[in-house]
Chain A
Amino acid sequence: MSQKLRQFSKNQIFWPLMVLLAILLANGIVSGGSFFEMRIVDGHLYGRLIDILRNGSKLMVLAIGITMALATGGTDISVGSVMAISGAVACSIVDGRLLPGASGNVAVAVVLALLAGVLCGLWNGVLIAKVKIQPIVATMILMVAGRGIAQLITEGKIVTINSDAYYFINGGYILGLPFPLFIVAFAFVLVMLFTRKTAFGLFIEAIGVNSVSSRFTGIKVDRIKLMIYTFSGLMAAVAGLIESAGIKGADCNNAGLLIELDAILSVAIGGTSLFGGRFSIPASVIGALIIQSISTSVLAMGVAPEVTLVVKSLIVVVICLVQSKKFKETIAGKFSRRAVKEA
């Protein structure tokens, strides 16, 4: 048993999980236990924990998508804008201002919104894999343009919609659990099967460690990068649907604003190196939950939500320092020097 425990403690997922539990526990103690309370109303589960899961679903979906991009040593900072585009497309169709023939048809809206996300991702992928532009620069183009495109789709207005079928994407329940969780679970299982039961995950890690030598071993680096960024776009579109269903409309200015940073942070907290290489999707998902619980607890304390930014920034710096080889050497050097002096 202790053998297994020791093995688990070396897993990438171990520390993120401990941090998450610590945050939840601290919340529970501060709130005097009410944090963990769960009620069942009309066969639906309610409670703070469920809130965190539901509100964190967007971030979990994004983190699943972006982890692989980061694992190849790239990045995708356009996800927030892609969310805005997908929300704008979906809401405009449900509202009937776009494609009046399919007015109110939620299925068409969802499919086309996802398609828009795939197209955005494909655009990023082509720029990165074919034109060979640095990922941060390539995705910056869509980040700048994306919100503009979304505004042009909605004609600069905030589109509010009235469709129970569409609300279901964020507010619905299946078996007493919020529907977004099933979306997350579906994406998670799909990606896990694809990266861990096939060689695809290995290829990604190989590219992240050394893209040139991966090409020489016969890995189709360009094609894999294209797939990764397309998938990231798709996941961003899914997150956009969840967000717009949550606010019951498309707000192109604020949908997914700054969320790309949260997504990258989630992956970093999960222990995936931002320089590329080893990655873990479960750890990224837990990272997303950590971010969400920090945001939720700051809100529960009645502090302005912007203050979470300060907390997050400190976390980023600490994580980066811990990952930095140089920092470890410096610290180790100080300790060993002290040891020598004492001796």
Chain B
Amino acid sequence: MSGAIQKKPGNRNISLLITTLLFFVLFGAGSLAYDRFFSLSTFLNLFNDNAYLIIVAIGVTFVLLTGGIDISVASTLAFTCVFSAHLLRLGVPPVVVIPLVLLIGLGVGLLMGYLIQTFHLQPFIVTLAGQFFMRGFCAVISTNSIPITDTFYKYMALGKVSIGKGKLYYYVFFALVVLAAAYYTLRFTRFGRGVYAVGGSEQSAVLMGLPVTRIKIAVYAISGFCAALAGVVFSFYTLAGYSLQNMGLEMDAISSAVIGGTLLSGGVGSVIGTTFGALIQGVIQTIVTYQNLNTWWTKVTIAALLCVFIVIQRGIALRAERRKSG
């Protein structure tokens, strides 16, 4: 049975394969073009510099899998940074601050999910409101950048594990734990199966007796929680909170997921793909830096990739439709 499946790779596996290949091709191209590019430390730095993006993108993947969209994540991340920096400056210990900001992220996600599901509102508009709300509250707290001087945060910012010549900062492990947990949840739990089922066909999921309402609210809560966790990681990374931080990160997160093979119409995708999607953006950024180009080339390249992947997905979907009808 499993042999038969392996002989005919599903659409999901094709996308994942393309993404993984693309990552290694890009990394290989960089290694050929530049001295000192090919090294363990370059590879590990991809994780060091993109840990927060991976976490946000994994959260967003849950929402995209159900066919929804969440564009509030960048603001939630910025709010987490600003609010924790503010609390730490007031002398609140990190033991209180970190759980508190994570709870806020979870709560905001929960509220948005509730509004979307209960009143049948468009996810785009509701999360847009969430984006405004959180960004606005950043400005209410402070419009200036607040430095973080707390010892625990400094410890997390600088602590690292050496692997050969490379190094991995402690906060990267948050991303790895999130990845492992998300992978397990989506592949091996009833809830994860439900997420795919809702994205595949919400109506069928309802008829099958799945708790659709609970699932759809939960994915937004997960996304909000991941955004807040990414905010904590980002404040380790930069040791500051600034209200205009990470403008447009929501689009980076969504493009990570799409490049990683997640269908925006829902039902197809994996967090492994999303992680590779985020890493591909990291590689492009690194190559652009090595080439000493304007950083805007990163955005243009990513948009071009995004376009290619969306068109490929469209092709796959059309093929599937034809096969179904034929």
Residues of A whose CB lies within 8 Å of any CB of B are 75, 127, 131-134, 136-138, 140-145, 147-149, 151-152, 155-156, 257, 261, 264, 268, 274-275, 304, 306-314, 316-317, 320-321, 324-327, 330
In the assembled complex, the Cα of A304 lies from the Cα of B137 at a distance in Å of 11
In the assembled complex, the Cα of A330 lies from the Cα of B122 at a distance in Å of 18
The verdict on A327 contacting B119 (CB below 8 Å), with A143-B251, A310-B133, A312-B132 known, is: yes
Residues of B whose CB lies within 8 Å of any CB of A are 69, 115, 118-122, 124-126, 128-133, 135-140, 143, 243, 247-248, 251, 254-255, 258, 264-265, 294, 296-300, 302-304, 306-307, 310-311, 314
Contact sample, A vs B, 16 pairs, CB 8 Å cutoff: A131-B311, A144-B248, A144-B255, A144-B302, A147-B299, A148-B296, A151-B296, A152-B296, A261-B131, A304-B140, A306-B143, A310-B132, A311-B136, A316-B125, A321-B119, A324-B119
Contacts of B303 in A (CB 8 A): 141-142, 144-145, 148
The verdict on A131 contacting B125 (CB below 8 Å), with A144-B303, A306-B243 known, is: no
Contact across chains for B299 and A309 when beta carbons are under 8 A apart = no
Contacts of B294 in A (CB 8 A): 151-152, 155-156
In the assembled complex, the Cα of A326 lies from the Cα of B114 at a distance in Å of 13
In the assembled complex, the Cα of A311 lies from the Cα of B139 at a distance in Å of 12
Contacts of A134 in B (CB 8 A): 264-265
Contact across chains for A317 and B126 when beta carbons are under 8 A apart = yes
In the assembled complex, the Cα of A313 lies from the Cα of B132 at a distance in Å of 5
B contacts with A: majority SS: helix
Most buried by A among B69, B119, B140, B258: B119
Contact across chains for B121 and A321 when beta carbons are under 8 A apart = yes
In the assembled complex, the Cα of A311 lies from the Cα of B143 at a distance in Å of 17
Contact across chains for A313 and B314 when beta carbons are under 8 A apart = no
Contact across chains for A145 and B130 when beta carbons are under 8 A apart = no
Question: A75 — nearest CB in chain B belongs to which residue?
Answer: B124
Question: B294 — nearest CB in chain A belongs to which residue?
Answer: A156
Contact across chains for A324 and B121 when beta carbons are under 8 A apart = yes
Rank and list the top 6 A-B pairs by shortest CB-CB distance, nearest first: A306-B139, A145-B303, A309-B136, A310-B136, A313-B132, A148-B299
Contact across chains for A308 and B265 when beta carbons are under 8 A apart = no
Contact across chains for A132 and B138 when beta carbons are under 8 A apart = no
Q: A141-B303, A275-B122, A304-B143 are in contact. List 12 more A-B contacts (CB 8 A).
A: A134-B265, A137-B264, A148-B298, A148-B303, A156-B296, A309-B132, A309-B133, A313-B132, A317-B115, A317-B129, A321-B115, A326-B120
Question: A317 — nearest CB in chain B belongs to which residue?
Answer: B129
In the assembled complex, the Cα of A173 lies from the Cα of B306 at a distance in Å of 44
In the assembled complex, the Cα of A274 lies from the Cα of B139 at a distance in Å of 29
Contact across chains for B132 and A316 when beta carbons are under 8 A apart = yes
Q: How far is the CB of A158 from chain B (nearest CB, A)?
A: 13
